[in-house]
Structures are given as C-alpha cells and as structure tokens.
Amino acid sequence: MAVLGVASGEVVHITAAAVGLSALFADAPAVFTALRQAGAGYLAYLGVQALRRAWRADPLWSRRPRSAAAALTCAAR
C-alpha cells in the first residue's frame, strides 16, 4: 500500500514539473535554447572524456594475465 502512495505522489510531482517547465519554455524560448546548448556541451564533454579514456587504455592483447583463469579469459576474447 505504501508503494501505491509513493508512486501516486511521484506522478503528481513529475506532472507539476513537466507543466511548469513547458510553461517556462513557452514564455522564454531563450531559456530553452540555453538548456539545449548546455545539454549539447555536456554530451560533447562526455564524448571527449570517453575518447581520452579509450586512447589511454592499454589494448587487450598487451595485458599480461596474472593467473591461469585470467589467461583463459584473455584467450577467449
């Protein structure tokens, strides 16, 4: 029964937030554009970080296994 109460409360809050944000974006398109630009910048940041990690990572074949089980796991890749 508690789950039903929590879920219904969440629905009310999510609906209120969605209505409020849509009203804000309708009244101030510049805010919506700024939010979109911030989201695009964040996605670009995540992409750059993923590329940097991929470039710094050692290739799988250069890692030496520490045990027989690890050797079999590396060989299976």
Q: What angle in degrees, to the nearest 10, is found between the helix axes of 2-27 and 29-56?
A: 110
- The pLDDT confidence band at residue 77, using thresholds 50, 70 and 90, is low
Query: Residue 34 belongs to what domain range?
Result: 2-76
What is the distance between the alpha carbons of residues 12 and 9, in angstroms, rounded to a whole number? 5
Number of domains in the chain: 1
64 against 14, higher pLDDT:
14
The pLDDT of residue 44 is 96
The total of other beta-carbon atoms located within 10 Å of residue 58's CB is 7
The pLDDT of residue 36 is 93
CA-CA-CA-CA torsion sign (67, 70, 74, 75) = positive
Q: Which pLDDT tens digit goes with each residue over 2-40? A: 888 888 888 888 888 888 888 888 888 998 899 899 999
